Amino acid sequence: MLIEEFVINSKRGLHLRPATQLASVAQEFTSDIKVGCDGKIVPGKSALGLLKLEVKEGHKISILIDGEDEEEAMKGIMELIRNEWK
């Protein structure tokens, strides 16, 4: 299992566009991907679930990945966050 934490720097938080992007990248992998914030954990492959976290600017999210392609999945998600969520 891999776990990474990220701080959301966007003034709009984790809104529809980045939630959809994250879910789309997560769906490319077979590993179980979950995202947590403030004690809540939701499936990372669900944009609606990600929106239910109500992540605001400055909140820390945890990405939890478990499965055969967990390393590739984490690389893909990290790339998304670094390149698209500036």
Just list the catalytic residues.
Answer: 15
Backbone angles phi, psi at 80, to 5 degrees: -60, -50
| 81-85 long-range Cβ contacts below 8 angstroms, 24+ apart | 81/6, 84/18, 84/21, 85/8, 85/9, 85/10, 85/18
Site of tokens 């959301």: 8
Provide the sign of the torsion angle of the four alpha carbons 8, 11, 13, 19, taken in this order.
Answer: negative
